[in-house]
Amino acid sequence: MPTMRLALAQVNSTVGDIAGNAAAVRRWSRRAADAGCQLVAFPEMMLTGYPIEDLVFRDSFVTASRHALDTLAADLAADGLGDMAVVVGYVDADGPPPTSAEATPGRGRRDASALLTGGRVAATYFKHHLPNYGVFDEDRYFEPGDTLTVVRFGGTDVALTVCEDLWQSGGPFAAARRAGVGMVLNINASPYELNKDDVRLSLVRRRAAEAGATVAYVNLVGGQDELVFDGDSMIVTADGELLARAGQFTEELLLHDVELPSAGDATPNAPGGTTQAAPRSSGPVRGEAIRGEDRGSDDMAVERVEIGSAPRPLRDGPAVGGIAERITDEAEIWSALTLGLRDYVNKNGFSSVVVAVSGGIDSAVVAAIAVDAIGPDRVVGVSMPSGHSSQHSRDDAADLAKRTGLDYRVEPIQPMVDAFLANIALSGLAVENLQARVRGVILMALSNQEGHLVLTTGNKSELAVGYSTLYGDSVGGFNPLKDVPKTMVWKLARWRNADAGRRGGEPPIPENSIAKPPSAELRPGQLDTDSLPDYEVLDAVLNGYIDYDQGRADLITAGHDAAVVDRVLRMVDIAEYKRRQSAPGTKISVKAFGRDRRLPITNRFREGV
């Protein structure tokens, strides 16, 4: 059996930075070549970044992507890498976007994969299954491909597929079995959510069995607005054996020698003789010796491309990629939040962040995430005590600053609040909100004056029920805790402190911030439980209602108190207008506010009414 030295380049791309992404492909391809690699694969849409959203409608953007692909192929050869195969994702087009009056069915923008070798684009493939759920809107942007590309390289047949092709049965993987391929290469931009790595492994095993072939799965890593990509690339044999697996949330090159059947050894599992080249909506791929096969029950044509030149000979073997250890739930989430914040800050050109540190748990966790993400010298923490701020909260804020090493400042707000009250008569809730809004003004003033990105600190539970002050504590450009329920905030704090202890460092979060009852401290003796159910109860109801779309009857059947359900659901429903104005934040759950959960603000439907 031929042995192929395969490299899965689990790397970080940036949307729109086509030149920078191409440079990354060249840089990582050189590393792969130096390790004796014969074929290296990069993630979905590597050249353009992912998701590109409405950029796909711009002809100039698509043209830049296609030009960069051709240039990259030539540059790789000029780098002395022409004898290595490089698979990379990009955006292609064989017609105008659906927004154009000239649009025609079956043609348009394509989520594409290309194999580069010998200084040229040798083969291309268009993604077949287009997800249109959760954070995905690919039916809006792309046309599906209808042809599986099989490349004969190094004595074996390799099928090219893209991301969602793996998540659905039939289609490309069924066609791959019919074509008798030795390996299916699947390039991905699969966003993180908690425990998704457990789902992926079983899914890759199912598709490997369906194709009757080894599956090489490479995934993107890095943050893009609300999304974060966790890597977790892997190689799985047809019988389900996990050969190699990369780590989570790390850029790395997973290098492994894979034994594959010789081309022609595997018997196609469906009838269909060789015919003329199968029609392809974009025209023939740019390769050699192209031939086609009839469509099978999977309704996909098979288009074959034979690479005439032999791959570079193997040396210094064998290469064993190893299997990276899985990390705990809390470690997963913390890694996602730090990576998401780091890339949002760095990719958008912010030099530093500023966060209000109140002494409470949420602000302490946000500050600790920020310090882990970009370093203490780039984090400003501002304590803004009012006349209602307790001494222990002031002390806890100062303790946090000492533990983390961030730039700590104190800006008392009571004189500013008093100045407002001397000029306008306010009472009750209006005075509470005034304090929050004065704090928001201070943070935004520091942002304008010094260039910091303001981090807001509201958690998912508070956003769900509207427990925040619009233009006050909700002010900010990014929210690391936007998709983190309050109960998970406490778990993260305890995990982060324990992790510091295991590493011999100082726990960053004061124990008092974790242990004390949460309070906004906007009036004497105030506690969150004055306005909300206990967070353990609240989060359980919110999880069912928001993440899993359970109705009132479902929640009550699940054991929740009817009065609590009615109260919580009403708070969630009437707070939609606040959530619509909230800052972006990293998605970690099945259903995050914003990209996942989209409800009308004007909406009179109420559960149980």
Which residues are part of the catalytic machinery? 44, 127, 163
- Quote the CA–CA distance of 408 and 356 in Å, as a whole number: 10
Helix (H, G, I), strand (E, B) or coil at 272: coil
- Give the Cα separation of 104 and 202 in Å (integer): 38
* C-alpha to C-alpha distance for 309 and 300, rounded to whole angstroms: 28
DSSP codes joined into one string, 99-161: TSTT--TT-SEEEEEEEEETTEEEEEEE------STT--HHHH-PPP-EEEEEEETTEEEEEE
Identify the DSSP state of 310: P
Q: The tokens 């064998």 sit on which residue?
A: 318
What is the distance between the alpha carbons of residues 247 and 254, in angstroms, rounded to a whole number? 9
Tell me the C-alpha distance between 181 and 141, whole Å: 30
- Whether 256 and 243 have beta carbons less than 8 Å apart is answered as yes
List helix spans (H) across 386-532.
391-404, 414-421, 429-450, 460-465, 486-502, 511-515
On whether the CB atoms of residues 587 and 226 are closer than 8 A, the answer is yes
Q: Which residues contact 567 (CB under 8 A, 6 or more apart)?
A: 533
